[in-house]
Amino acid sequence: NAGVTQTPKFQVLKTGQSMTLQCAQDMNHEYMSWYRQDPGMGLRLIHYSVGAGITDQGEVPNGYNVSRSTTEDFPLRLLSAAPSQTSVYFCASSYIPEVAGRSQYFGPGTRLLVL
């Protein structure tokens, strides 16, 4: 199993550009999520999904869109990038957390720099 994969590893954008961060998992996990990690702020939840066609907002959803058309893929879209979106983005997946304590598997991250 490849686990959770993310592409690209690193991206530089100009303010106003759009892009999609890709995330895929091959563990048949129902739950997938996106986090951003900033110095001193910890991991903050952007959006999450509990299955194909079902998404919801996390703590910091503004400026980001998601969709979940398949169990395996959960792309994150930046419609108009802003310097405040410079961060490291992590995708994670797990079995549905209906039962308490489902640990999440994280991808290697995408480093995004918005100029």
Which residues contact other proteins (rule: CB under 8 A)? 4, 31, 33, 35, 40-45, 48, 50, 56, 58-59, 90, 92, 97, 100-109
- Residue 8: CB atoms within 10 Å: 11
Shortest separation between residue 83's beta carbon and other proteins, angstroms: 22
Beta carbon nearer to other proteins, 58 or 63: 58
Residue 46 and residue 89: Cα distance in Å, rounded? 10
Phi, psi angle pair for 74, to nearest 5°: -150, 80
CB of 17 or CB of 104, closer to other proteins: 104
Rounded least distance, CB 22 to other proteins, Å: 15
For the bound state, the minimum distance from the C-beta of residue 98 to other proteins, rounded and expressed in Å, comes to 9
Contact 106, 91 (CB under 8 A): yes
Q: How far apart are CA 87 and CA 82, in angstroms?
A: 11
Find the angle CA(109)-CA(44)-CA(24) to the nearest 5 degrees: 35
Closer CB to other proteins, 14 or 101, in the complex: 101
Question: At closest approach, how far in Å is the CB of 24 from other proteins?
Answer: 14
In sequence order, what are the beta bridge partners of 43? 37
Pick the closer one to other proteins by CB: 28 or 59. Answer: 59
